[in-house]
Amino acid sequence: MVARGLAGTNIYDIVRVGRQRLLGEVVEIRTDNYSIQVYEETEGIGPGQPVYPTGEPLSVELGPGLIGSIFDGIQRPLDVINSQLGPYIARGAEYPPLSRTKLWHFLPRLKAGDKVVGGDILGVVKESALVEHKVMVPPGVEGTIKTIVEREATIENTIAEVETTVGIAGIKMLQKWPVRRPRGVTRKVQPKEPLVTGQRVIDTLFPMVKGGTSCVPGPFGSGKTVVQHQLAKWSNADIVLFVGCGERGNEMADVLLSFPELKDPRTGRPLMERTVLVANTSNMPVAAREASIFTGITIAEYYRDMGYSVALMADSTSRWAEAMREISGRLEEMPGEEGFPTYLGSRLASFYERAGAVICLGTELQEGNLSVIGSVSPPGGDLSEPVTQATLRVAKVFWSLDDRLASQRHFPAINWLTSYSLYQNIVDGFAREKIAPGWGENRKETLRILQKEAELEELVRLIGIEALSPEDKLLMEVAKIIREDFLHQNAYHEVDTYTSLENQYYMLNAILRFYSEAQEALQKGIDLSKIIEIPAKDDISRLRFVPEGDREAFRQVEQGIQQQIGALREGSKVDL
């Protein structure tokens, strides 16, 4: 809608529209015409109704109470609305995102007389059993603490006073921040630690780092949401933000029902005690959908600034891009490829580039990181469409989901021939020091085997497998073991659903040990059928169910491979 007479209002400022005071945002200004996108249904709004400017951009509330909450795209608390109004959001419904009455026990870390700058930690609040909320000096505030006391306080109570050059600044636990403006940092640093997901195809072949960016494209039914759920549950991040952007209502309902019941694998506590959910389903207004991504990442940046490792899952950025396309069309902007706005690439980049490992603001110079994993839903699985291509220009990890693998019940359905990671050298260096020196070499050899298998499959289709040499037949057999026993995981098995980096290395090492021993046996003239029938080969498939820390099971399988293939070699010498 278009309003007039809002002099002094800037683009992206928030306004209230109509007698119901519906929330809207100024998205375009042409002379005295102000185009407003309203975050709610506009039925009944007509010419002549008032518009009330607020003079502020769309912002989120930051403070204790975020963890465990469920918000919509503009940070309305859905759990509160459900308890007050029922399952449907009434137009004009307005509740504060964070409780104004709940008392939090504030425990100071600093004292009167200490000098502070923006980002310094004044004290802590126990937000949940898993998260210690660090109350920070707001950015831009610098001075000396005049008063600070341990007390029970609401988020609007003053918990400290800082004497600045312009007067006394009262510090509260509640802060507000514009969603479209990145929060400041001292500097960005190179990521140096992997984001461990427990998914073998990811951690070993196409790894992610803390502070990295990843794209997960795939057609309908290929398992994007399941992958996101696995990463949310098992990744070694301290805080998880899950943003459901334009997804189907039943899928978001599954998230909202399942997440509160999930257990944190490290502590056994409910996963929601370190999770924030932002839900904006496909039947909600597109304007709120466009804002939801920025709402989620601003909350994520807030926890990153406390020094935490944060992982944000955005499902899906394609729906977000469709919302931008719809809004752009209403504004009569020049369309780009497939009708998307010409600024699609820069808008996607403005989201993904807010990820990273950083030195946070403050005198302590503590390090935090924010990882962003965005799923993409290309129509018909066409990876050449604009959203996927624009995402690949800024994301450094590409997990290409394959509906063919999904139909074969291969999970995760990540295609190892089309996926890649630009963080391999970082993770190889970390694993070489922390796990085992041969990590990188094993990964390269595994990818070589899988790529060679794809080439040989073309020959097999043309001339049959019997035309292959014994060496190629052995490679095909080893590739099958890698695919079925290493890359395939059961998301619902209590052990197989997660594999530590140590177990991943030893499991893959056993497979490659079998391959090297079998190659030597072939060179000695041993028949391939005898090699692949040794009992130790079947033992490899059971390594995926080995509990964490049981190194002896891996040692025994490798020893069995060596002894049994060694016995075949010795037997051949006797025959000769």
Q: Which CATH number fits domain 1-57: 2.60.120.1440, 2.40.30.20, 2.60.40.10, 3.40.50.300?
A: 2.40.30.20
Pick from 230, 232, 244, 233: nearest CA to 78:
244
Mean pLDDT value of segment 505-529: 94
Question: Given the DSSP bridges, would you call strands 187-189 and 213-217 parallel, antiparallel or unpaired?
Answer: unpaired
- Helix (H), strand (E), coil (C) string for 301-331: HHHHCCCCEEEEEEECHHHHHHHHHHHHHHC
Fold identical between 1-57 and 439-575? no
Residue 576 binned pLDDT confidence (cut-offs 50, 70, 90):
very low
Q: What is the pLDDT of residues 377-411, one digit of tens each?
A: 888 888 899 999 999 999 999 999 998 898 888 99
Does residue 166 surpass a pLDDT of 50? Answer: yes
Does residue 151 surpass a pLDDT of 80? Answer: yes
With left for phi above 0 and alpha for psi between -120 and 50, is residue 530 left, alpha or beta?
alpha
The CATH number assigned to the domain with range 187-421 reads: 3.40.50.300
Q: What is d(CA 361, CA 297) in angstroms, rounded to the nearest whole number?
A: 18
Does residue 574 surpass a pLDDT of 50? Answer: no
Q: What is the pLDDT of residues 326-384, one digit of tens each?
A: 889 888 888 999 999 999 999 999 999 999 999 999 999 899 999 999 999 888 888 89
Least confident of 154-168, 273-287, 323-337, 547-561: 273-287
Whether the Cβ atoms of residue 496 and residue 490 lie closer than 8 Å to each other: yes
Q: How many CB atoms lie within 10 A of CB 158?
A: 15
Residue predicted with more confidence, 475 or 94: 475
Least confident of 87-91, 220-224, 248-252: 248-252
Domain spans in the chain, listed from the N-terminal domain onward: 1-57, 104-173, 187-421, 439-575
Pick from 351, 311, 315: nearest CA to 210:
311
Q: What is the pLDDT of residues 249-287, one digit of tens each?
A: 777 777 777 777 777 777 888 888 999 999 887 777 777
Rounded to two decimals, what is the model's pTM?
0.93
Q: Percent of the chain having pLDDT more than 90?
A: 69
Residue predicted with more confidence, 314 or 233: 314
**Exposure string over 254-267, b if 16+ CB within 10 A, otherwise e:** ebbeebeeeebeee
Q: H or E segment at 506?
A: helix 501-523
Does residue 224 surpass a pLDDT of 90? Answer: no
Assigned fold of 104-173:
OB fold (Dihydrolipoamide Acetyltransferase, E2P) (2.40.50)
Pick from 338, 290, 302: nearest CA to 62:
302
Q: Which CATH number fits domain 439-575: 1.10.10.10, 3.40.50.300, 1.10.1140.10, 3.30.2130.30?
A: 1.10.1140.10
| Summary mean pLDDT of the chain | 91
Amino acid at 229: H
Instruction: Give the residues across from 14 on adjacent strands.
Output: 25
